[in-house]
Amino acid sequence: MMLSRDVSNHFGVSGKWLYVWLMVTNSTAMLLFGYDQGVFGGILTLDDFAARFQLVDNETLKGVIVGSYDLGCLVGALATGPIGNWIGRKRSILLGTTVMMIGAFLQFLAPNFGIMTAGRVIAGVGNGMNTATAPVWISETSKTANRGRTDLFSFVKSELAWRFPLAFQLFFVLIIFLTAFWLPESPRWLAMKGRNDQALAVMVALEGSSVSSESSTAQRDFEEIKTSIALEQPPIQKRETKPLFRLMLGVGVQAMQQLTGINIICYYLPYVLTESVGLDGSQARLLAAVNAMTYLGSTFVGLIFVERWGRRRLMMYGALGQCCCWLAITLLLNSASTAGPLSPRQQKLGSAAVFFFFLFNCFFGASWQGVSWLYPTEINSTRYRIFGMSLGVATNWLINFGVVFVTPLGIARLGSQFYVIWTVLNAVMVPILYLFYVETSGRSLEDIDDIFAAHPTVWIFTIKSMTSRKPANTNGGRNSGDDIPILADEDAKTFSRNDENMLADDITTADWAVEEMANGAEGTEEDEDADEDADIRPIQLAPGATVISKQASALIDMEE
């Protein structure tokens, strides 16, 4: 099959610029997630908002109005599992954005607590769909996702102070609508649905315009995807790639992200600074805005280290740093509570605590903020990826709801001791990550299937190849897998996963046995004695499968 014609019909671009547009759309979808967190925490401290919705001195209603959004996100994320595999990644984003737009309008026009809560639930459903879909869409076409945060009009003393930020979500909704319609569907989803011509066309477009599919890396990557999907189908699935364990790893990352305590700061930092540190509302909102910019800046640090250190180490370092920050915050605020109100000592201790709130966000932004959304899309196979991400994001929102609901009550009743909980939780994450989590950095989505097929244990720390990042790929392919050694008499050569797929295109058995290739080659079992002295070499076609064959040697010689 040849696709020499120009397939770049997405904004009239292909290659890297098509990736840019994909990142713009998916990043905007994730930005709406961060936008609500960044904006609503400041809105809670506004007198007009608190008075209109009966939130003054009512910590329970504060938890409800904030947490209702998270419950909506939980429902939307759960719905994405079946919907995402049915209508695809792109349409799921468009559907979620439409639902979110309806919720944003209701919040903007809300005259009372009930309508405001309903609007937040509906907007949450749409955002839950987007946050479960966007990381999958971008991971199946590229491997980069970002999100931003915005805080505006914090000091306007009228309804505009909270109505405008809630309505401004519609600006980002418009960006998604204007871009998503023109972008390609995930090639892995298309291949899973049997729409192979469309899948290959998308991969060629991502590779660059006017590329011959027979000679490009897109063709080889496409064959690798087809092989991986074929091995996952129930009638022929004989090799164990631990889908349940992998699903739980993805869910665990999303759960731990919330248990770091990040949304105490994202939603409630102005409230925390007024109640725990003793600042006035204007100072608290100003510092929260500065903190949001610090948080955003730290994500760029994460982009540098996510490939250099890998996902596993970056999350462990982040959890350790966050643990130290919560410990310092606990000790400082506990000491400040024993000092006299508004005393110089209390102000100094409070200022030091603010520094560690900022430092916590730096650790989180550089580690968990991005990796926790990337990891579930990498660790799950194509067949289970959208379901795994859906369950993981649903878990994220469920715990998110619990955190934002109990935070006002916890601060009011426990004071500085409330932060001990998050100190302990971050400390526990480090050994969990060390013992059970696989390093996915530098590996294609299909290579990760092979890793789990080769190593059935859940004690990941015992296997060095599963805890260290894969060396940089040098064969030019976008999703090339681990290099596989081929042993020759004179020298050792390297046989890439892409070349392996070209040789084993029709092999579908679980152990990747090569009987099919042998049956189609010259020679029979009676020739084995005559072939014993022939020039032969072992070829590892997949983890656990080694075949010695004169015919296979000839095939390799042709490839060379």
- What are 250-261's pLDDT values in tens digits? 999 999 999 999
Together in a domain, 454 and 506: no
Q: Are residues 272 and 179 in the same domain?
A: no
**Residues 181 and 144 reside in one and the same domain:** yes
Question: Do 457 and 496 lie in a common domain?
Answer: no
Q: Are residues 273 and 135 in the same domain?
A: no
389 with 307, same domain: the answer is yes
Q: 162 pLDDT band (50/70/90 cuts)?
A: low
Residue 217 lies in a domain: no
**Tokens linked to 373:** 């959304």
pLDDT tens digit sequence for 291-306? 777 777 787 787 788 8
Beta bridge partners of 539: 486, 547
DSSP string, 262-277: HHHHHHHHHHHIIIII
Residues 424 and 497 in one domain: no
User: Which candidate, 127, 123, 118, 113, places its Cα nearest to that of 166?
Assistant: 123
Q: Are residues 18 and 110 in the same domain?
A: yes
Arithmetic mean of pLDDT, 93-118: 88
Q: How far apart are CA 27 and CA 24, in angstroms?
A: 5
Residue 227 belongs to some domain of the structure: no
* Domain-embedded: residue 502: yes
Quick check: is 202 in a domain? no
Residue 202 corresponds to which tokens in the numbers above? 């998308």
Exposed, middle or buried, 260 (CB in 10 Å: 0-12/13-18/19+)? buried
- Main-chain dihedrals φ then ψ at residue 296, nearest 5 degrees: -60, -45
Domain boundary among 144, 164, 185: 185
* Beta pairing partners, 493: 486
CATH number at residue 399: 1.20.1250.20
Dihedral, CA of residue 477, residue 481, residue 483 and residue 488, to nearest 10: -90
- Pairing relationship of beta strands 492-495 and 484-487 according to DSSP bridges: antiparallel
Contact status, residue 50 vs residue 56, Cβ threshold 8 Å = yes
Question: Rounded distance, CA 374 to CA 302, Å?
Answer: 12
Residues 6 or more apart in contact with residue 244 via CB below 8 angstroms: none
| Per-residue pLDDT tens over the stretch 315-346 | 999 999 999 999 999 998 888 777 666 667 77
Q: Do 124 and 70 share a domain, yes or no?
A: yes
* DSSP 8-state code for residue 10: B
205 in a structural domain = no
274-278, 424-428, 441-445, 527-531: which is most confident: 424-428
Residue 213 has pLDDT above 60, yes or no: no
Q: Which of the listed residues 436, 453, 480 is the one where a domain comes to its end?
A: 480
Q: Which domain-ending residue is among 121, 150, 185?
A: 185
In terms of Cα–Cα distance, which of 294, 73, 28 is closest to 176?
A: 28
Written as one letter, the residue type at 322 is Q
> According to the model, what pLDDT value does residue 413 have?
86
| Residue 529, Cβ density class (10 Å: 0-12 exposed, 13-18 middle, ≥19 buried) | exposed
Residue pair 492/486 in contact (Cβ under 8 Å)? The answer is yes
Question: Could you tell me the residue range of the domain that residue 545 belongs to?
Answer: 484-559
Looking at the fold, whether 446 and 508 belong to one and the same domain comes out as: no
- pTM above 0.85? no
54, 61 Cβ separation under 8 angstroms: yes
Strand partners, 547: 539
Enclosing H/E stretch for 486: strand 484-487
Q: Are residues 246 and 291 in the same domain?
A: yes
Q: Which residues contact 42 (CB under 8 A, 6 or more apart)?
A: 151, 154, 165, 270, 285, 288, 289
Average pLDDT for 34-54? 74
| pLDDT beyond 70 at 515 | no
Is the pLDDT at 503 greater than 90? The verdict is: no
pLDDT tens for 367-410 read 998 888 888 888 887 778 888 888 988 898 899 888 888 888 88
In a domain, 3, yes or no: no
Q: What is the pLDDT of residues 55-74, one digit of tens each?
A: 777 777 877 887 788 889 88
Answer yes or no: is 142 within a domain.
yes
CB 33 within 8 A of CB 262: no
SS3 341: coil
**What does the pLDDT read at residue 327?**
95
- 5 found inside a domain: no
Same domain, 398 and 539: no
How would residue 15 be classed by pLDDT, with cut points 50, 70 and 90?
Answer: low
Could you identify the residue written with the tokens 């603010």?
354
What is the number of domains present in the chain? 3
pLDDT at 496 over 80: no
Predicted pLDDT of residue 251: 94
Q: Is 539 helix (H, G, I), strand (E, B) or coil?
A: strand
